[in-house]
Chain A
Amino acid sequence: MGLLSLFSKSFSHGVHPAHHKGQTEDLAIQRVPFGKRYVMPLGQHIGAPAIAVVSKGQSVRRGELIAKPGGFISTALHSPVTGTVTEITPQRTLDGALKEAIVIEADPYSTQRLETTPPTSWEKLSLETFIKVIQQAGIVGMGGAAFPSHVKYSIPEGVQIDDLLVNGAECEPFLTNDHRLMVERPQAVIEGTEILRQKLGAKRACIGIEQNKPEAIEALREQLAQQPERPITLSALEVKYPQGAEKMLVKSVYGKEIPAGQLPRDIGVAVNNVGTIVAIADLFETGSPLIERVVTVSGPGVDQPANLLVPLGTSVRDVLRFSGALNDKTREIIMGGPMMGFPIASLDVPILKGSSGILAFTETETARPPEYTCIRCGRCLEACPYFLNPSRLALLSRNRRYEETTGYHVMDCVECGACSYSCPSNIPIAQLIRTAKDNLRQHPVQDAA
């Protein structure tokens, strides 16, 4: 791994899982036909849940506002279909918990045409209005965390953003949704990047892409060649997990380490996912708020993998039905990527703004091989991109000595799973660390060193 990084931009440590993207990387994005029932949980982003502005029985048009932001760190929701609100009740979401959601039944006779008008041209907007427009459009980070984008763009007094970094690394194996967006809609990617760059006042923009996506790099390069006046560059990155983690990406592209506990903006960088960038481009082109997203359906448990454009709120069951259902070998379904995604217990949960993939896994991947004791081989240390000592953290967590994990900076862990991946003793390190972090959040330690 040392040799490779001489030739391409990268960060230290990390792992090289097989990327399994071949199943879907050449499949064009297909639109899923409209179904019947759509569930829009009010809290599908990080921060305060949105507040419903529709009531039961009300009819809504596709793209109409159905919930307004519940605070600054919160964002709006829009109806993914034209239809009727049938209930506003708690519904099962990804983690199995019941969460307040707006349920919409699609009107079977509607054409589902999007009748929105684009906001005034973006050049004229001030940064404040731009931020409001983004919040009203419900745009969040589409890489998985679903952090409201406008919060990122609200730069405090005195901080100057010099660089806009677009995250097209897509380092999670199996996922190809960002890849397809870059291949099929390079113009939207460049347009969105330029909009955001100008609004944030950044001098330059850079799109970071892992080298295993030559098609995407080529498509963007051609697009850029037509608009040479734009200060946007491409950066080919080493294929390594977790290349797409925000801090790793910044390290790879700019060679700068973001200090622990700080954000990219503290060193003058704003990082945005490709999906988010395209959502911004769409907003200013057609006025469409965030009501659908690209989802990769893949994994050995599905017979017909696909990249699908799915209206938010569609149930996983409907998406899978469209893509040829699960095969009999499926044992587990992961929402998101195989390294950091979350397993779901039921097929009736909805696709949310942060759902990048539906991956079905079989016996082979889910079988937990016997666990051995830690032999202190140091492989997890060499895998951890944050240079933590995962073996130590896992041991402390297993012995329930959660407070002591703070001395080893447990909170710096981003739960990327590289440590578990590399452990020959099959210790579920990341899971143990997650347990420690959850416990610490519930019972914070006084001494914050």
Chain B
Amino acid sequence: MIKRDPDLLLQSAPLLKQKLSIPTAMRDVLLALLPALLAGIWYFGLSALLVVVVTILGAMMTEWAFTPKHQRSMALSDGSALLTGVLLGMTLPPALPLWMAWIGGAVAIGLGKTLWGGLGNNLFNPAIVGRAFLLGTFPIAMTTWHVAAGPDQFFNLYSSTLALPFMQVPPIPQGTLSASGGGIHLVDGMSAATPLGLMKFEQTGTPIFSLMFGNTAGSLGETSGLLLILGGLYLLVRRALEWRIPLAIFLSAGVFTLLLQQIDPLRFPDIYFTLFSGGMLLGAIYMATDPVTSPVTPKGAWIFGIGIGLLIVLIRNFGGLPEGVLYAILLMNAATPLINRYTQPRIFGRSVGRSAK
């Protein structure tokens, strides 16, 4: 029997490849975020769910609209727009009007990514761009916080959630605040200050237990420290995390806080508070580690993380805002090309690697 030779391919070596690819990496991060996200929805109810879903929609629709037709399925399948939507959604207040959430998602992708030339070319983390935009444009809505209501009020919608674009939030008649029975209720959530706000303006701490389990006021996905840490550990096990960055952030923020405490223990928060409140965990583990907008070299990662940690503590304690994670990451994102340039690796067998042009 004569057997034909196979038509041989001429793919260039190496033929072996490790399993990790962009979509699996994105999926890992999404999986890691899921518990914290679900916890947020559990605490803040239907509104939180809607905010996240609408943010994702905003991000994905923008990605779709701005991507050339032949690249669409690929651009959406890589999961980066989805991840941006989820990350942004998790930093939003649960009672944010949905139309604002949509705009946030759209801006995150449009201004944060597409404008720069798509995935891999952006200077700033898209989710943070989206949040910075919202914070600048809708400062009131973005800083109206509510107490975590708990699961028994899951179907209570915050009245502001369904506000029409550019309209005042319709007043809700008294007495609709109800936890009983099924059905969806519109409620005026009880507004409350976040732990960071309390610290900044009233010098009141929040017990670490609440910070860990998420039953405080805050962004819908930022409040449950424990679950965010667990997600981070999962990523670490999957080797999908540049661990140097969060570690550097925690270390530098921690050391800086300890120093400040030496100066005035009453005025400055303690180290647990610094590390587990606000957007610290979400920012350090999931946002600062975005590979695109962080330095490529290990040395650069340390510098980047230390910078973020210092800036967070500086802004929180000496700036006008209660929260500094957002701007700290943005600033260090901007410094990334510079860090890359000065941390080019030393080449094997050469005394000093010539720095890049």
Q: Contacts of A168 on B, CB cut-off 8 Å? A: none
Q: Which of B12, B16, B78, B348 touches A412 (beta carbons < 8 Å)?
A: B348
Q: A409-B353, A449-B354 are in contact. Are A338 and B25 (CB under 8 A)?
A: no
Bound together, the chains give a CA A342 to CA B10 distance in angstroms of 8
Bound together, the chains give a CA A261 to CA B298 distance in angstroms of 26
The verdict on A36 contacting chain B, using a C-beta distance below 8 Å, is no
Bound together, the chains give a CA A449 to CA B174 distance in angstroms of 78
Per-position 1/0 for B1-18, Cβ under 8 A of A: 001011011111111111
- Say whether A338 contacts B356, CB under 8 Å: no
- Say whether B349 contacts A376, CB under 8 Å: no
The verdict on A5 contacting chain B, using a C-beta distance below 8 Å, is no
Which of chain A's residues 303-347 have a Cβ closer than 8 Å to chain B? 325-326, 328, 330-334, 336-347
Q: Which of B3, B9, B16, B21 touches A425 (beta carbons < 8 Å)?
A: B21
Complex: chain B residue closest to A428, CB-CB: B12
- Say whether B10 contacts A345, CB under 8 Å: yes
The verdict on B344 contacting chain A, using a C-beta distance below 8 Å, is yes
Bound together, the chains give a CA A434 to CA B12 distance in angstroms of 10
Binds B, one of A21-29, A112-120, A151-159, A414-422: A414-422
- Say whether B22 contacts A425, CB under 8 Å: yes
Q: Shortest CB–CB separation between residue B239 and chain A, in angstroms?
A: 10
The verdict on B175 contacting chain A, using a C-beta distance below 8 Å, is no
- Say whether A366 contacts B298, CB under 8 Å: no
The verdict on B118 contacting chain A, using a C-beta distance below 8 Å, is yes
- Say whether B11 contacts A332, CB under 8 Å: yes
Q: A375-B292, A409-B347, A409-B353 are in contact. Are A426 and B298 (CB under 8 A)?
A: no
Q: Shortest CB–CB separation between residue B84 and chain A, in angstroms?
A: 13
Q: Which of B14, B121, B298 touches A378 (beta carbons < 8 Å)?
A: B298
Complex: chain B residue closest to A260, CB-CB: B349
Q: Contacts of A260 on B, CB cut-off 8 Å? A: 347-350
The verdict on B188 contacting chain A, using a C-beta distance below 8 Å, is no
Q: What range describes how many residues of B lie at the interface?
A: 35 or more
The verdict on B297 contacting chain A, using a C-beta distance below 8 Å, is yes
Complex: chain A residue closest to B290, CB-CB: A375
- Say whether A258 contacts B13, CB under 8 Å: no
Bound together, the chains give a CA A387 to CA B344 distance in angstroms of 9
**Main secondary structure on B side of the interface with A:** loop
Bound together, the chains give a CA A369 to CA B296 distance in angstroms of 23
The verdict on B346 contacting chain A, using a C-beta distance below 8 Å, is yes
The verdict on B120 contacting chain A, using a C-beta distance below 8 Å, is yes
Complex: chain A residue closest to B22, CB-CB: A372
The verdict on A273 contacting chain B, using a C-beta distance below 8 Å, is no
Bound together, the chains give a CA A262 to CA B120 distance in angstroms of 37
Q: Shortest CB–CB separation between residue A282 and chain B, in angstroms?
A: 30
Bound together, the chains give a CA A6 to CA B152 distance in angstroms of 54
- Say whether A365 contacts B16, CB under 8 Å: yes
Bound together, the chains give a CA A373 to CA B75 distance in angstroms of 10
- Say whether B347 contacts A412, CB under 8 Å: yes
Q: Which of A331, A334, A336, A387 touches B348 (beta carbons < 8 Å)?
A: A387
Bound together, the chains give a CA A381 to CA B356 distance in angstroms of 15
Q: Contacts of A230 on B, CB cut-off 8 Å? A: none
The verdict on B357 contacting chain A, using a C-beta distance below 8 Å, is yes
Complex: chain B residue closest to A408, CB-CB: B356
Q: Contacts of A331 on B, CB cut-off 8 Å? A: 6, 8-9
Q: Contacts of A378 on B, CB cut-off 8 Å? A: 242, 291, 295-298, 301
The verdict on A407 contacting chain B, using a C-beta distance below 8 Å, is yes
Q: Contacts of A339 on B, CB cut-off 8 Å? A: 13-16
Bound together, the chains give a CA A332 to CA B13 distance in angstroms of 11
Q: A331-B6, A404-B357 are in contact. Are A338 and B21 (CB under 8 A)?
A: no
The verdict on A33 contacting chain B, using a C-beta distance below 8 Å, is no
Q: Contacts of B356 on A, CB cut-off 8 Å? A: 389, 392, 407-408
Q: Contacts of A220 on B, CB cut-off 8 Å? A: none
Bound together, the chains give a CA A14 to CA B57 distance in angstroms of 41
Q: Contacts of B22 on A, CB cut-off 8 Å? A: 372, 375, 424-425
Q: Shortest CB–CB separation between residue B120 and chain A, in angstroms?
A: 4
The verdict on A391 contacting chain B, using a C-beta distance below 8 Å, is yes
Q: Closest 5 A-B residue pairs measured CB to CB?
A: A417-B14, A377-B291, A373-B120, A378-B296, A260-B349
17 contacts between A and B (CB under 8 A): A17-B16, A18-B16, A260-B348, A331-B8, A333-B8, A340-B13, A343-B11, A347-B5, A365-B16, A366-B9, A372-B78, A376-B296, A386-B347, A386-B348, A391-B296, A424-B20, A425-B21
| Apart from A368-B11, A372-B78, 17 more pairs, CB < 8 Å | A260-B347, A328-B6, A331-B8, A338-B15, A340-B13, A373-B118, A378-B296, A378-B297, A387-B345, A387-B348, A388-B347, A389-B344, A417-B14, A418-B14, A422-B18, A424-B24, A430-B12
